[in-house]
Structure 1
Amino acid sequence: MKRFILAALLGAGLAGAALADHQADDGKLRAAIAGSHRSAAHAARDTYRHPYETLSFFGIRPNMTVVELTPEGGWYTEILAPYLRENGKLIGAGEAFEPAKRYGMMFKKKLDANPAVYGKVVPGVFDPPSTFDFAAPNSVDMVLTFRNLHNWVEFGDEGMQNVFKAIHASLKPGGVLGVVDHRLPESMPQDAKASSGYIHESYVIRMAESAGFKLAGKSEINANPKDKADHKRGVWALPPTLANRDEDREKYLAIGESDRMTLKFVKP
C-alpha cells in the first residue's frame, strides 16, 4: 500500500477520505480474498493483480452498490460478491444471459454454481457499443472495470465516450470509477483497434474526462517495469495466456503479467 501515488485530489475533503481509505485495514475484504470459494487458478494470480491494494485504492466499502463491468470468468466477482453480500449490492454487468452470448452464459453458470456466495449478485446488461442497461441513473456508488477498455477502442472515440457517459450517468455524485488496464508506453503508437491489448494511460484519462469525470488518483500497485509491451502477439504473449506457447516461454514467464495502469476517477 505504500506504493500508492495520489494525484489530482478533488479538494481537502476527498483528499482526507482517500488517505483514510489507505490507512484503515479492511478485514472483511481480506476475508473475501482468502475465501475457500475462490478457484485456485484465480487465487494464484493475486501476486500480479493485487486485489486488496487495488480495491482499497478505489475506496470500496461493504455497504456500497458496485457495478463490475464485463465480469466474464468472474475473477473479481469471487471477491466482490461475498464482500458486498450482507450490506451492499453487486451488479454484474456484461452480456445478456442468452444462449448466443458466450460470456453471458459463462457468467450465469458461475453464479448458479454457488448461490451461497453469488445468489445476491444482480445481473445487468452492458454490451458496448450501444447497450447499457445495468443501473438506474445516479444509483451506483462505484463502477469497476478490469482489463476491458482496450476491447472498446475499436468503437472509436465516440464509442468509447459513450461507454464513459453511460458509466457516468449510473453513478451518484461523488461516485467512483476504478479502471485497471494494460498500459502502452506513451512513446509507442496506439492503433485504431489497440490490437496489442495495450492502451495509453493518457487516452483513458482523456476519454473519461470528456464524459465529465475528474481524475482523483493514480496507483502503481499493478505496474510491472519488466513489461515493455513489445511482444509478438501483444499482451497475450505474457502469462497467463502465453499465446506463443513454447516460443520464448521462459522469457515471458520471467516478465510475468502485464504492466497495468490503475486509475481512480470521480463523478463531481
Structure 2
Amino acid sequence: MNKSSALAFLFLGTATLLHAQTASQPAYVTDAVSDSARPAADKQLDNDRKPAALIAFAGIKPGDNVADVMPGGGYFTRIFSKVVGAKGHVYAIVPEVYAAKAPPERLKSIHALVADPAYSGNTRLDIRPYDRLDVGAPLDVVWTSQNYHDVYGAVSVFSVDGSTGPEQAGKLDAAVFKALKPGGVFIVIDHVAKPGSGEQDAHTLHRIDPAVVIAQAKAAGFVLEAQSELLSNPQDGHDKSVFAPEIKGHTDKFVLKFRKPMHSSKTDP
C-alpha cells in the first residue's frame, strides 16, 4: 500500500464515520454481557475487549442472524447468542482448512459451547470453506475479530493450497458479501500494522494494514460505513508481534464497519 493510500485511509470520510464510544448501549446488549452463563475467564477480558460498545457499534439486535467467522473459543459467540435471542440465530463458522490442520484441542471450546443448553437453542457450529458461507438463511451481520490477518498473511494453519493469502482474503470477502442480506453489516476487528507492510507483517507479526482490508472489502462490493477507535492504543509502535509479552492483549486495533448496499451494481459472486 503506497503512502497516498495510507493518507487516504487516515482522512477517509471523517464527517460520516461513527465512533462506538458515543453509541448508546441497549439493555439487550448490556444484559448479554452481564449474563451469568458466561465463563469467568471471558468476563475477565471484557475491560480490554469492550464487547458491549462494539456490539452496539455493529448494531446487532434481537432477531438477527449473525455469523461469527473464526470464533476461537467463542468469546463473542456467547454474547451474540444472548443478544439475538430466541428469534435470532448465531453461526460459529470455522474454516474447513483450519479444522483439518489445527490440533483437535483448539476446537474443544467451540464444540462445548454449541452443546451447552445455555446457547444451543440458537447457536450452531458450521465448518465450511472460506468461499462458501451460505448458512441457509440470509445474514444480518458477519463478524470476524483478530483473524483477517491470518487469512491474508497465509498463516500455515489457515493457508489453502494453491491460493495465496491475499487471494484467500479476497475470497472470504466475496463470500461474506454473498451471504449477507442487502443492507447487512460486515465487521472486521484486527491488529494494526504499519502502512504498506503488506503480507510480511500479517504473516510474522500477526498484524494488517487497515487500508488493505478496506481496499479488499470495497473490491468485493462493500461500502465502508464507519470505523471506531474504541480499541486503539497509540503507545503500540506496530513493530512487535501481537504475542510479545509487553504488548499482548493491548495492541492497537482497528474496528471497521462495512455495509452491503441495498441496491448494488455489484453481482454476487
**Shorter-chain TM-score tier:** 0.7 to 0.9
Partners of 2:41 and 2:151 lie apart in 1 by 27
Q: Which residue of 1 aligns with 2:111?
A: 108
2:250 equivalent among 257, 262, 266: 257
Corresponding residue of 1:247: none
TM-score, normalised relative to structure 1: 0.78
Partners in 2 of 1:43 and 1:175 — Cα distance?
Answer: 28
Paired with 1:227 and 1:62, the residues of 2 have a C-alpha distance of 36
Task: Name the structure 2 match of 1:202.
Answer: 211
Report deviation, 1:264.
Answer: 0.2
Query: Partners in 1 of 2:236 and 2:40 — Cα distance?
Result: 25
Aligned residue identity for 2:72: E
Deviation string, structure 1 residues 42-92 (Cα, Å, up to 9, x no partner): 211111111111111111111211111011200111211122222211111
| Deviation for aligned residue 1:116 | 2.5
Unaligned stretches of 5+ residues in structure 2: 1-9, 155-163, 262-269
1:214 and 2:223 aligned: yes
- How many residues align? The count is 239
Looking at structure 2, the residues matched to 221 and 193 of structure 1 have their Cα atoms a distance apart, in angstroms, of 22
Check whether the contact 1:82–1:118 (CA below 8 A) recurs between aligned residues: no
Match in the other structure for 1:249: none
Structure 1 gap ranges (5+): 243-251
| Structural mapping, 1:107-126, within 5 Å | 107-112=110-115, 114-126=116-128
TM-score, normalised to structure 2, is 0.78
Aligned-pair distance for 1:265? Answer: 0.2
Which residue matches 2:148? 149
In 2, Cα distance between equivalents of 1:203 and 1:99: 28
Paired AA for residue 227 in structure 2: K
Question: 2-side partners of 1:173 and 1:39: how far apart?
Answer: 35
- 2:99 and 2:189 map into 1 onto residues whose CA distance is 28
Give secondary structure in 2 for the equivalent of 1:265. strand
Matched, 1:236 2:243: yes
Q: In the superposition, relative to structure 1, how do residues 100 and 115 fare at CA in structure 2: closer, same or farther (>3 Å)?
A: farther
The equivalent residue for 2:193 is 184
Paired position in structure 2 for 1:44: 44
In the alignment, the residues of structure 1 paired with residue 191 and residue 84 of structure 2 have an alpha-carbon distance, to the nearest angstrom, of 27
Greater shift, 161-170 or 64-73, is seen at 64-73
Deviations for 1:75-123, whole angstroms, at most 9, x for unmatched residues? 11121112222221111111569897634444112222x2123332022
- Structure 1 118/258 Cα, relative in aligned 2: closer, same or farther at 3 Å? farther
In structure 1, distance between residues paired with 2:235 and 2:99: 41
**Kindly tell me: are residues 8 and 218 of structure 1, through their superposed partners in 2, closer, same or farther at Cα, counting changes over 3 Å?**
same
- Shift in Å, 1:133: 4.3
